[in-house]
Structure 1
Amino acid sequence: MANIKSAKKRIKVIETKTLRNKMIKSALKTYIKKFEAAFEAKNVEESKTAFATVSKALDMAASKGIIHKNKAARKKSRLALKLNSLNA
């Protein structure tokens, strides 16, 4: 356990940030699952709106440093391929 005041504060700050990061990652997974469900149901309109939500959430997570920007780009690309295959 930390004895120095600043170290104690850092522990609290890290716990807060970890919790926030977990919440955002969990929300990302939920958005992706909703997109996948709409895709499996072959619902084009719902898939488009879900993709927009996922895309925005991935960009936000990448900009905050929660996930790497290349991971966000890769996920968006793969989901876009699925969406385009549904339209074709």
Structure 2
Amino acid sequence: MANTLQSKKRARQTERRTDINKARRSRIRTFLRKVEEAIASGNADAARDALKAAQPELMRGVTKGVVHKNTAARKISRLSARVKALSAA
């Protein structure tokens, strides 16, 4: 358990930030799941719209430090390739 005032404050801040980061990560996963579902359903327009909505959310996670930059770039790249293949088919 924290003893000093500073360490107690840091513990409170960490707890608060953890909740915020969990919520943000969950929100990102929801957006990604919507893209996956649209791709699975075969609806190219819905998949494109869902991807457009998911991209800024994922990049916002990068700026907030919830997701690594390369991870976000990889996810966007792979999803956009799948959406593009869906549109071409």
- Is the structural similarity TM-score above 0.5? yes
TM-score range, shorter chain: over 0.9
Could you list the per-position Cα deviations for residues 52-86 of structure 1 after superposition, in whole angstroms to 9, with x for gaps in the alignment? 11111111001111111000100000000111001
With normalisation by structure 1, the TM-score equals 0.95
**Amino acid in the other structure paired with 2:50:** A
Alignment of 1:17-28 (within 5 A): 17-28=17-28
State the partner residue of 1:9: 9
Structure 1 runs (4+) greater than 6 angstroms displaced: none
> The residue matched to 2:20 in structure 1 has which SS?
helix
With normalisation by structure 2, the TM-score equals 0.94
- Using the TM superposition, name which of 68-77 and 43-52 deviates more: 43-52
Measure, in 1, the Cα distance between the counterparts of 2:67 and 2:38. 24
* C-alpha RMSD of the superposition: 0.8
Query: 1:46, CA displacement in angstroms?
Result: 1.1
| Unmatched segments (≥5 aa) in structure 2 | none
| Unmatched segments (≥5 aa) in structure 1 | none
State the partner residue of 1:78: 78
Measure, in 2, the Cα distance between the counterparts of 1:3 and 1:81. 52
**Amino acid in the other structure paired with 1:14:** T
**Sequence identity, in percent?**
36
Alignment of 1:46-65 (within 5 A): 46-65=46-65
State the partner residue of 1:29: 29
